[in-house]
Every structure is written in structure tokens, then in C-alpha cells.
Amino acid sequence: MRKSRRTRSRPIEETTTQREDYALGWIAMQNIKLLVLGDGAVGKSCLLISYTTNAFPSDYVPTVFDNYSTNIMIDEKPVCVGFWDTAGQEDYDRLRPLSYPQTDIVLLCFSISGTDSLENITSRWIPEIDRYIPDCPRVLVGCKSDLRASNPDICVPRTEIEKVAKDAGLEYYETSALLQDGLKHCFDSAIRCGIAGSRKKTKSKSPFGIFKKKKPDDPIPPVMPPAGKAPWIEIETSTFAEDWQKMLEDPKFSDVTFLLEDGQQKLQAHTLVLCSASKYFCQILGLPNSKTTPHLP
């Protein structure tokens, strides 16, 4: 599983003037955190890898957490985008919210090859981000659009997807990581949306008109997932007394048998019980007694 932090740089075209501006610090680099969310195996990791490396991964490896950092030119301005990949499997429901704080834009991903992942967008993923990051912008992204040409029978109609997007108030983008179709338009639009919704940073000027560096904001503590419910523990009513009573009444647990005068009736008893009741039984049965036992007449 990919757990390590990796940094991938996508080349950006810069003019000589822009490079000089970066060196002098005239152009501030905008930082954006982009989070992809959705069911497992819908194509989230392939979407990010294909966009950042221009290559489609050959093997599927379920993600736990992964993130990339890339510099991109948006509207002729440099943007440092942190791409955060998450696990869609239910096994990671308690870990996933740790990646939500400070997110600027969420890509809600599903596969157009079936309705299950699309239905989970409204039933599972939108409620989850509404709970942890309710004010964060989000867009709907359909993955594996190349299947519309190769296997159209299994694909969800675009009109049905657009209706879901409209009802949820989401912009919809359809992409193919395999063919790299629609990736640039999708990510550029999402990053613009994230920039527009990010917090505006104020700049203070010195008397000489040079921008001062703003102190970094205090880190926001991670949103902890809700604690699991304590297991139900049921304590049964004690049957200790009843069990001992049954043992006393059961002949197979006795070790002393009294024969009555007629010789036909028997009385079962227990040495421990007899000696506890009377010190004379200790003498009769030949057991030691801590107290002085008078001789029987």
C-alpha cells in the first residue's frame, strides 16, 4: 500500500519575466489542497497519477493515504497544489477524516461503469464532507469515460448523472485517466474553484512598500473521528447458591452414606457439611479439629 509522501512536479511554462518575478518574490505562490473522495476502485488514484505524471498505472494497489505536490500555472499564475488521495473502503472510515482539515476543494469521484458508486455520492460521501468540512467547495467527477466507447452497455447515461449533479448543486466533469481525456479541464476548473473558496490572506506593507512575510497560521488540529460505541455487556444473574444446593442434593457428589435402622433407606451426606455443622462428626469421621473435642460418652 502506498503510505509514503511523494512529491511530483509537473513542468510549467514560465517566461523569463515570470522567472525573474519568482526570484524577486513579486509573485506569491498560491497553495491549494485538493482532496479526492469516493468508493474504492473507482479510479481516484489513476486520476491523480495520470494527471501529474502523464502516465497510466499498470497495477491497482488500494490506497490508504497518499499525497502529491505539484506546481501548476492557472490563469498565468503559479499555484502549488497538494493532491490528497484517500481510501474509499469502509475499513478506513475512522482514519479518512484525518485528511479533511484545511481542504480547499473536494473531487467526488465515481465510476460511470455502474450506479453503485454514483448512488454512494449522495448517500455516503456528501453527508460525510457536510459533517467534517461543510463549507468546502466540491465538484462531481465521473471516471473511466473511455468505457462509453468500448463498453457502452454498462455505462450510466450521462443524462442520469447530470440530474444527480444538478440535484446536489455540483459541477460535473467526465474524465478518462487511461486516455487523459478531460483531465486538464477538470483539474483546472476544480483548482479555480478551490482558489475562489480559499481563505483570503491579507498582506501588510512596511514603510518602504515591501510586502512583509505573514506569520504562518497556527495549525488546525485534525478532526477526530467519533469514538466507537462501547460493546454491550450483559451480566447474568448469579446461580452460585442454586448450583451448590443441587450439588448437595445430588447423590453422586456425596461422600458419606448413612444407613437407617431398617437398612433399606439411605441418607447421602457430605463430610465437609457434617464437620462444619458439628464437631462430633470430626471425631466420628476421624478428621482433626482445631478445638478440643470432648470424647463421646
> Quick one: pLDDT at residue 265?
76
The 10s digit of each residue's pLDDT in 46-84 is 999 899 888 898 777 666 557 888 888 988 889 999 999
Q: Which residue has the higher pLDDT, 106 or 285?
A: 106
Are the beta carbons of 55 and 123 closer than 8 angstroms?
no
Report the number of distinct structural domains present in the chain: 2
CA-wise closest residue to 114 among 41, 33, 191, 199:
41
What mean pLDDT is predicted for residues 35-56? 91
Question: What pLDDT shows up at residue 10?
Answer: 43
Q: Is 281 exposed, middle or buried (0-12, 13-18, 19+ CB in 10 A)?
A: middle
Predicted pLDDT at 24: 41
Reported in sequence order, the residue ranges of 23-117 that DSSP labels E, i.e. its strands, are 30-38, 65-74, 77-86, 105-111
How sure is the predictor about 14, in pLDDT bands with cuts at 50, 70 and 90? very low
Query: Has residue 51 been placed in a domain?
Result: yes
What is the per-residue pLDDT for 13?
43
H or E segment at 244? helix 240-249
Same domain, 57 and 193: yes
Do residues 145 and 263 share a domain? Answer: no
Residue, of 188 and 9, whose pLDDT is higher: 188
Residue 231 counted as domain residue: no
How do residues 135-147 score in pLDDT, each as one tens digit?
999 999 999 999 9
Pair 120, 254 in one domain: no
DSSP 171: -
Average pLDDT over the chain reads 80
pLDDT at 113: 94
Residue 182's CATH number: 3.40.50.300
Query: What is the model's pLDDT at position 237?
Result: 87
pTM: 0.60
- Summarize the confidence of residues 151-166 as an average pLDDT: 95
CA dist., res. 270 & res. 272, Å (int): 5
Q: Which domain holds residue 86?
A: 16-197
The pLDDT-based confidence of 206 (bands split at 50, 70, 90) is very low
Q: Mean per-residue pLDDT for 143-153?
A: 95
Same-domain status, 68 and 150:
yes
Q: 166 or 274: whose pLDDT is higher? A: 166
Domain identity same for 193 and 51: yes
What secondary structure letter does DSSP report for 30? E
